Amino acid sequence: MPVQPTWDVSQIDYRAIVNDWHAVCLSSEVEEDKILPIRLMGEDLVVWRHDGAIHAWKDYCRHRGAKLSLGWVKGDRLVCPYHGWEYDGQGQCRHYPAHPSRTPGPRSRAYTHKAEERYGYIWVCIGEPKGEVPAFPNWLDDDYRKVSAGPYVYQANALRAIENFLDVAHFPFVHADLNGDPNAPDELETYDVNVTPEGLTTSEIKVFQPYGDHRGIPVTAKYAFSCSSPTTAYFEKKTGDTERFCTLMMATPVEQNKCIVRLIVAINFGEELTTEQILKRQDLVFNQDRRMVETQRPHPLPVNVRDEIHLSSDKLGVEYRRWVQRRAKDHDLSILTEAPTVDA
């Protein structure tokens, strides 16, 4: 059975993130009794909603391999478009139209995955989640205005995209005259990276930014990063005693070398500024990053730190690579294999 996704499971980045939650779409993209096909880690999935509950399954009918995403919702069931098998919300087939009096057996189940809704997005784990959806500390704080940005489609590995997000040394060059001055790049002070089984956090990293946020004014910014899953990262940026510009970045791994970057920014100042002003700057910055990340070689993140050259300012990237490598070693992929089945 094609239970395994097409992504090569021997790849380190696959093994490091298979048990993580990944943001796959906006909650609003999946309406009641509607179906949305999505792709995650080389797998076609069908996401659907009934009675408000969200379901994310492999886009695959156990009968003849048809795409469930071509089907429809009927009552509380998802109906396969080919021979009309009806699956309930737990993925169990409840009705074979060609044999209406026969009770479908336990093997006639869709391949279900875990799904959650958080922060206005739908999160899916195709393995066994080891914890909660990554934290977003500003989400419930009414002092912060929240704006979703993206999606930005990168023809690049998701881990490359996140490492770029965690890297301030590129600011003066990739984001020249926005996040840094190419003619006077900051000399970066040393900073601390705390590594725990839950992820990475840093002390503050100070940089000068000529156009530091949507206000278009120069700021001295202090970034504190955290990363609780390899494909989800966060920073809090201080630009004054009380001003905070925070960003949750979600890099959805679509294929090994394709990801979709989604952001939620949380800002506690500049109420008078428009959403368009915020999005304009985000779009500019993340499209500038795209050019770098899409052209880095090799396309996968080199997690063996000997493969590239690192400076002290790369400390967060180095620890990120080591952490990804450790997670890959820890993860058991046996959950992704299943013996062939005959029928109910």
Nearer to ligand FES among residue 71 and residue 172 (C-beta) = 71
Neighbours of 181 (CB within 10 A): 17
Look at residue 289 and give the partner it binds from ligand FES, Fe ion, none, a contact being a CB closer than 5 to 8 Å depending on partner kind: Fe ion
Nearer to Fe ion among residue 43 and residue 289 (C-beta) = 289
Q: From CA 7, how far away is CA 271, in angstroms rounded?
A: 44
Q: From CA 133, how far away is CA 261, in angstroms rounded?
A: 17
Look at residue 83 and give the partner it binds from Fe ion, ligand FES, none, a contact being a CB closer than 5 to 8 Å depending on partner kind: ligand FES
Q: From CA 314, how far away is CA 31, in angstroms rounded?
A: 43
Look at residue 82 and give the partner it binds from Fe ion, ligand FES, none, a contact being a CB closer than 5 to 8 Å depending on partner kind: ligand FES
Q: From CA 78, how far away is CA 47, in angstroms rounded?
A: 10
State the number of binding residues for Fe ion (CB under 5 A): 1
Look at residue 85 and give the partner it binds from ligand FES, Fe ion, none, a contact being a CB closer than 5 to 8 Å depending on partner kind: ligand FES
Nearer to ligand FES among residue 84 and residue 270 (C-beta) = 84
Sole window of 25-33, 110-118, 283-291, 310-318 interacting with Fe ion (rule: CB under 5 A): 283-291
Give the nearest distance from C-beta 219 to ligand FES in angstroms. 57
Spatial neighbors of 25 by CB under 8 A, at least 6 apart, are 36, 38, 47, 121, 122
Look at residue 80 and give the partner it binds from Fe ion, ligand FES, none, a contact being a CB closer than 5 to 8 Å depending on partner kind: ligand FES
Residue 147 bridge partners (DSSP): 265
Nearer to Fe ion among residue 86 and residue 289 (C-beta) = 289
Give the nearest distance from C-beta 119 to Fe ion in angstroms. 22
Residue nearest to Fe ion (CB): 289
20 makes contact with Fe ion (CB under 5 A): no
Give the nearest distance from C-beta 289 to Fe ion in angstroms. 4
319 makes contact with Fe ion (CB under 5 A): no
Nearer to ligand FES among residue 99 and residue 329 (C-beta) = 99
For 245-258, give the DSSP string.
Answer: EEEEEEEEEEETTE
Residue from the set 289, 316, 323, 324 that interacts with Fe ion by CB under 5 A = 289
Give the nearest distance from C-beta 81 to ligand FES in angstroms. 7
Give the nearest distance from C-beta 60 to ligand FES in angstroms. 9
Q: From CA 166, how far away is CA 228, in angstroms rounded?
A: 12
The sign of the dihedral angle between the CA atoms of 293, 297, 302, 306 is negative
Look at residue 280 and give the partner it binds from ligand FES, Fe ion, none, a contact being a CB closer than 5 to 8 Å depending on partner kind: none
Q: Which residues bind ligand FES (CB under 6 A)?
A: 61, 63-64, 66, 80, 82-85
Fill in the DSSP letter of residue 272.
T
**Residue type present at position 215:** R
Give helix 158-165 / helix 275-295 axis angle, nearest 10°.
120
Give the nearest distance from C-beta 148 to Fe ion in angstroms. 18
**What burial letters (b/e) apply to 54-75, b meaning 16+ CB within 10 Å?**
bbbbbbbbbbeebebbebebee
Number of H helices, E strands in the chain: 5, 18
Q: Which residues bind Fe ion (CB under 5 A)?
A: 289
